[in-house]
Structure 1
Amino acid sequence: MPQQFIELGEGYGDVYELLEIIKTNQERFHQAFLLTSTKGDKKVISLAVAFKPVGESKFMPIYICREGIPYHDGEPTKRQKMFEAQIEQLDRKAVVVEIKHSSIFSESKLFYQYLIGILRLNNYIPALA
């Protein structure tokens, strides 16, 4: 099953778009992710959601707000709380995954291939069949 990341932005106003996508596609919800990474001394989080394919399609979209939200081990930010609350309305929890920061990759395509590999390896998304 081919998966592809669809980047909405860096997690400011686009978090609201991600929340609306979750709300309007509840029946397609597969898994939510809190992807944490570190650049220098700053820890950031990416919010992502994978959805099941629609109809006869084999395509699995994964919407992401990439690395624009500060991450604190103790107190989550307002945007992170809103995201987790939306996921909890579906009686689910977001999976926290520590990843490499996208800045170490020469292009975003390589970063997203790396992420798909991590998510497949941990069985969070289906393998390519």
Structure 2
Amino acid sequence: MRQQRFIELGEGYSDIYELCELIKTNASRLQRTFLFTATTKEGKRCLSIAASFSPAGEGGFYPIYICREGIPSKEESPSKRQLVFEEAAASVGSKPIPVDLKHSSEFPETKLFYQYVTGILRLNHLLPPLD
């Protein structure tokens, strides 16, 4: 039985560097990288960065590591954190896929937000279907 789950990291530089290290050290398992853009109720845009991996061994667990909504989004110039993530992805041959989403504050629970994101990714064939 396959299981897909978001594993939330923090939003600071150290968390982004941890995600970049996961991408580099698990390059053979990396499936996709993502740049999720959301707009807050106040009209501010922010980014989440994420990476999905295939299962390790025969476990059937598909992790999706994410740094949720901690990066301010400016169309005219990407932030240092976004550039670090894009460089790490490029170093293993991945180009982050941009996806516009609702902000997580629009959901009463984080779990519902992740169900919504999973649905969007599956509808666009960016995550494999469950068995």
- Superposition misfits of 4+ residues, deviation over 6 angstroms: none
Does residue 30 in structure 1 map to residue 31 in structure 2? yes
Query: CA separation of 1:12/1:51 partners in 2, compared to 1, >3 Å: closer, same or farther?
Result: same
Offset of 1:13 from its aligned partner? Answer: 2.3
Matches of residues 17-96 of structure 1 in structure 2 within 5 Å? 17-39=18-40, 40-96=42-98
Offset of 1:2 from its aligned partner? Answer: 2.1
Gaps of 5+ in 2: none
Offset of 1:74 from its aligned partner? Answer: 1.8
TM-score when scaled to structure 1?
0.96
Matched AA of 1:76? P
Give the alignment's Cα RMSD to 1 decimal.
0.9
Matched AA of 1:35? F
Secondary structure at the aligned position of 1:31 is classed as strand
Q: Is the 8 A contact 1:11 1:46 kept in 2?
A: no
The residue that corresponds to 1:15 in the other structure is 16
TM-score when scaled to structure 2?
0.95
Q: Is the 8 A contact 1:30 1:52 kept in 2?
A: yes
Q: Is the 8 A contact 1:36 1:98 kept in 2?
A: yes
Aligned residues: 129
